[in-house]
Amino acid sequence: MPGRFGVGDLGPCAFEFADFLADAGQKLWQVLPLNPTGYGDSPYQCFSAFAGNPLLISLERLAERGLLQASDLAKVPAFPEESVDYGAVIQYKMPLLRRAAEVFFSDASGAERAAFERFAEGAGAWLDDYALFMAAKDAHAGAMWTTWEAELRGREAKALGEWRKKMAPEIAAYKYWQFEFFDQWQRLRDYCKDRGIRFMGDIPIYVAHDSADVWAHPDLFFLDEKGAPTVVSGVPPDYFSATGQLWGNPIYRWEALAERGYKWWIERFRASLALFDMVRLDHFRGFEAYWEVPGGETTAIHGCWRKGPGEDFLSALQNAFGGLPIVAENLGVITPPVEKLRQQFGLPGMSLLQFAFGTDPQGPSFRPHNYSRDLVAYTGGHDNDTTVGWWNSSVGADSTRSLEDVRKEHEFARAYLNFRDDAEINWVMIRAVMQSVADVAIVPLQDVLGLGSEARLNLPGRVSGNWKWRYKAGALGKELSARLRLFAGLYER
């Protein structure tokens, strides 16, 4: 989102976007994971699977409550308008968040302090470990937890007690930022609810190795005696990459999780469902079978399939929550057992229209005439190029497509979608998913705005330069909302 402070936040621009959605007749706002990002700024590689990202806290809201002064926000660096410079944002924003924490703990009213204590106690199962982890990480200049001294790395009780005492002010600040994040998020969610807008969140299947989750629960992952993963996550070669995708996350010890009734996963879902009305379960096929790569590999080629927790895991979730408000991300190498598992638990799948016309072997299933109602249909996803960028690319720079593949893909898409070259490809695709029988249709904002590859959010396999795009202030006008509202009305969305 736009805004003065270099990165989107939970302040005025978020509420303005909610107004745009309401004016456009939209009912669902899907977000990527909102957790604190680590190396590479990816929302799928976070320091915690439970915490919120402090960078999303609105400084303007803090100033309104007297936790910051107007003078604190008077001198703002010249941040780029259409991308996020994460390093510069962190350098600017974190000192201000620290100042707000100091003011809170010195000046908070009794009621405010009581609210904070209630939050900290309720979230204690994850918050205590997260706050200590981040404070210790700061004390080690950001170094990965596996490089810390053995006593702290191994979570010896004496060391934990000493560090909690030594880092008490820093730990308190990290807890306060979580209190503030969740309060600001709830205010936005209530605002959206009043306008008939629900939220879809996102639960990544894996967690980052350098995270409070792995440090606090090393017995739930395949790690060696020093905490390094012995096997890591990824996917085999596919449409996106001829060498596969090496994600590098540690692999779960599913037997250990099962012995504990999947408690950690249930609590993770509980935390997500407290924030969102429904969730996209990332890499659903990994719960049926997952690609395991030996630690130390540089690509995902030399991996193998391992059996996932499947029915046993989903049954545990169902027993804990009753109905499962889950959308299964069933993209990639999908086998009949994966689809059987999804259908057994009544979970809608996903379809990306961008995959419907090329060489992907599952292409026919992505064509609207083959859609089922229990589906969430997209023009494209966060790993795709934008629709305009995809259409204008002459070669498959992000995939295994050849020039001839691209030519045939375009030819088929023109015939299938019945459009002329002077038509706007993004709106042709938007109409196609909106008029389909899929119960839910979601359009990335870049496609609504008709932006090209410069607005691409993520290129799988690229280590840096992702997750930076922002839309410009003033980009969401009445004409755009009217076009979306027309389609929503025409197709009874």
CA distance 194 to 354: 33
The per-residue pLDDT for range 234-246, each reduced to its tens digit, is: 998 876 678 888 9
Task: Identify the pLDDT of residue 395.
Answer: 58
Task: Identify the pLDDT of residue 286.
Answer: 97
Q: Read off the pTM.
A: 0.95
β-pairing, 231-235 vs 289-294, is: antiparallel
Instruction: For residue 375, give Cα distances in angstroms to 148, 362, 417.
Output: 46, 15, 20
β-pairing, 198-203 vs 231-235, is: unpaired
Active site residues: 282, 329, 383
**Bigger pLDDT: 460 or 33?**
33
Q: 212: exposed, middle or buried (C-beta count within 10 Å: 0-12, 13-18, 19+)?
A: buried
Contacts of 293 (CB under 8 A, 6+ apart): 231, 232, 233, 234, 246, 300, 302, 303
pLDDT at 398 over 60: no
The per-residue pLDDT for range 90-99, each reduced to its tens digit, is: 999 999 999 9
Q: What is the DSSP string of 17-83?
A: HHHHHHHTT--EEE----SPB-GGG-TTSBS-SSS--GGGS-HHHHHHTTSS-GGGGT------SSB
The per-residue pLDDT for range 236-280, each reduced to its tens digit, is: 887 667 888 899 999 999 999 999 999 999 999 999 999 999 999
The number of residues in the chain equals: 493
The per-residue pLDDT for range 409-423, each reduced to its tens digit, is: 999 999 999 998 789
End-to-end CA distance of the chain: 25
Q: Please give the structure tokens belonging to residue 341.
A: 């598992």
pLDDT at 362 over 90: no
Using left for φ > 0, alpha for ψ between -120 and 50, and beta otherwise, residue 283 falls in: left
The radius of gyration computed from the CA coordinates of the chain, to the nearest angstrom, equals 23
Q: Where are the beta strands (DSSP E) in 238-303?
A: 245-250, 278-281, 289-294
